[in-house]
């Protein structure tokens, strides 16, 4: 098989890596487009409940989040372990939800306001009393489209 | 200007790939890729304050009461049920396949693509929960209800169009939605059961 032996020592041509940065940059931009930076720091811990019949949340800019859960470990010494509601960056009471929704609504474009969705991200061990209060507040604030955030159930 | 133009030395760009990679990894770590999913629902508009509680007259046969107590037990109609049984019960209630007298009445309705159909237009599923119910139990029930509707819609879509509901065109979806409209009413919460 002398025919194929490379005793002649032809060198392998070096791979041109000049376009590698461009490739990586393209990938980087793709990632930046599809992901959304979380703007709020979570002060409550929550584990989403699980369900199977899930719908995707569309139009991220129209979605407002309400977090419900127990305060994180660091804040627990100060606030106790009672279930709390978090709007944006601070804890809130149910009475403040209405103002918060009104504020979020006014910051939207006028034609988008009716399509505002409120995503309730609550811990799965929350008692329904809190959720019901939040729901009543949302009704009063005319934010009727809601979404119970949930993870996909795996059997 | 007798000086020869000196060529600028080329910038060594072999490390720019590394820099880009570092940026990429930074973004991968800081961003959350999780797409938000959940169960979408519509709340009823608020009751005007001056309005007295008016009882909407609903025939008993059109109403299915699902109740979750503070121990996360489910009462459907007037019997205790397991979460696994709930879907079939709801399906049977909404569909009323044998024209049972105690299941919702059927009304004739003209629907595009389907023509005249007998549908249980006036059925209502009333979902009640206690203040002490766990959120997960509530979501489980909501999920089962959604699943019952989705299965019914898929069945009728497959029968008529040979496709699942999600792949139908918008007009076809509307027609199917008219046959099985989702009617879940959530009552004002009550505090029974005692446990907080």
pLDDT of residue B195: 42
**Containing structural domain, residue B169:** 63-186
Asked if the structure places residue B169 within a domain, the reply is yes
Q: B39 with B146: CB under 8 angstroms?
A: yes
Asked if the structure places residue B158 within a domain, the reply is yes
Find chain B residues with C-beta within 8 A of A148's C-beta.
38-39, 41, 139, 142
B16/A135 touch (CB, cutoff 8 Å), yes or no: no
With b for 16 or more beta-carbon neighbours within 10 A and e for fewer, the B65-104 pattern comes to ebbbbbebebebeeeeeeeeebbebbbebbbbeeeeeebb
pLDDT of residue B194: 47
B139/A49 touch (CB, cutoff 8 Å), yes or no: yes
pLDDT of residue A146: 86
pLDDT of residue B130: 83
What is the ipTM metric for this complex?
A: 0.70
Q: What is the mean pLDDT of each run of 10 residues along chain B (196 residues)?
A: 71 78 81 71 74 65 83 83 84 81 78 79 83 85 87 87 84 84 74 49
Tokens of A116: 């505002």
Cα–Cα distance measured from residue B153 to residue B157, given in angstroms and rounded to the nearest whole number = 6
B39/A148 touch (CB, cutoff 8 Å), yes or no: yes
Describe the strand order of the beta sheet including B124-129 as a list of residue ranges. Answer: B79-81, B74-76, B63-68, B124-129, B184-186
A69, closest residue in chain B (CA to CA): B135
| DSSP label at residue B14 | T
Asked if the structure places residue B129 within a domain, the reply is yes
Q: A108 with A148: CB under 8 angstroms?
A: no
Identify the bridge partners of residue B129 per DSSP, sorted by sequence position: B68
DSSP-assigned states of every residue in B76-100: ETTEEE-HHHHHHHHHHHHH-TT--
DSSP-assigned states of every residue in chain A: -TTT--TT-PPPPPP--TTHHHHHHHHHHHHHHH-B---S---EE----EESS-EEPP-GGGEEEEEEEEEPHHHHHHH-SS-EEEETTEEE-GGGHHHHHHHHHHTS-TTTGGG-EEEEEE-TT-BHHHHHHHHHHHHHTT--EEEEE-EEP--
**Tally of structural domains, chain B:** 1
pLDDT of residue B91: 85
Q: What angle do CA A46, A47, A53 make, to 5 degrees?
A: 130
Asked if the structure places residue B2 within a domain, the reply is no
- Domain A44-152 sits in CATH at 3.30.420.270
Residue ranges in chain A modelled with pLDDT below 50: none
pLDDT of residue B98: 79
Tokens of A112: 């988008």
Q: Rounded to two decimals, what is the model's pTM?
A: 0.73
Q: CB-based contact (8 Å) between A132 and chain B?
A: yes
pLDDT of residue B126: 84
B20/A122 touch (CB, cutoff 8 Å), yes or no: no
pLDDT of residue B196: 40
């Amino acid at each position: 098989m002398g025919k194929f032996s490379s005793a002649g020592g032809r060198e392998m041509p070096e791979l041109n890596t000049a376009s590698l940065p461009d490739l990586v940059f393209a990938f980087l931009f793709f990632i930046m487009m599809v992901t959304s930076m979380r703007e709020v720091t979570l002060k409550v811990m929550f584990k989403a409940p699980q369900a199977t019949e899930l719908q995707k949340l569309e139009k991220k800019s129209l979605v407002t989040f309400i977090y419900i859960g127990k305060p994180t470990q660091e804040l627990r010494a100060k606030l106790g372990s009672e279930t709390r509601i978090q709007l944006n960056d601070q804890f809130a009471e149910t009475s403040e939800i209405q103002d918060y929704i009104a504020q979020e609504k006014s910051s939207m474009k006028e034609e988008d306001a009716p399509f505002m969705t409120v995503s309730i991200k609550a811990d799965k061990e929350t008692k329904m009393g809190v959720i019901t209060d939040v729901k009543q507040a949302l009704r009063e604030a005319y934010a009727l489209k809601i979404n119970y955030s949930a993870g996909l159930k795996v059997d | 200007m007798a000086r020869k133009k000196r060529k600028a030395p080329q910038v060594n760009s072999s490390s720019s790939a590394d820099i880009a990679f570092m940026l990429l990894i930074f973004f991968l770590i800081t961003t959350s890729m999780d797409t938000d999913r959940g169960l979408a629902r519509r709340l009823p508009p608020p009751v005007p304050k001056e309005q007295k509680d008016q009882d909407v007259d609903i025939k008993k046969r059109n109403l299915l009461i699902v109740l979750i107590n503070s121990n996360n037990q489910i009462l459907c109609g007037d019997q205790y049920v397991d979460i696994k049984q709930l879907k079939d019960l709801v399906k049977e209630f909404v569909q009323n396949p044998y024209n049972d007298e105690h299941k919702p009445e059927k009304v004739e309705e003209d629907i595009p693509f389907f023509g005249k159909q007998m549908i249980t237009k006036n059925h209502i599923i009333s979902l009640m929960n206690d203040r002490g119910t766990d959120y997960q139990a509530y979501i489980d029930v909501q999920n089962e209800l959604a699943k019952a509707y989705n299965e019914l819609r898929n069945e009728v879509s497959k029968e008529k169009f040979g496709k699942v509901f999600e792949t139908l065109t918008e007009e076809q979806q509307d027609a199917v939605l008219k046959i099985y409209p989702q009617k879940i009413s959530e009552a004002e919460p009550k505090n029974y059961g005692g446990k907080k």
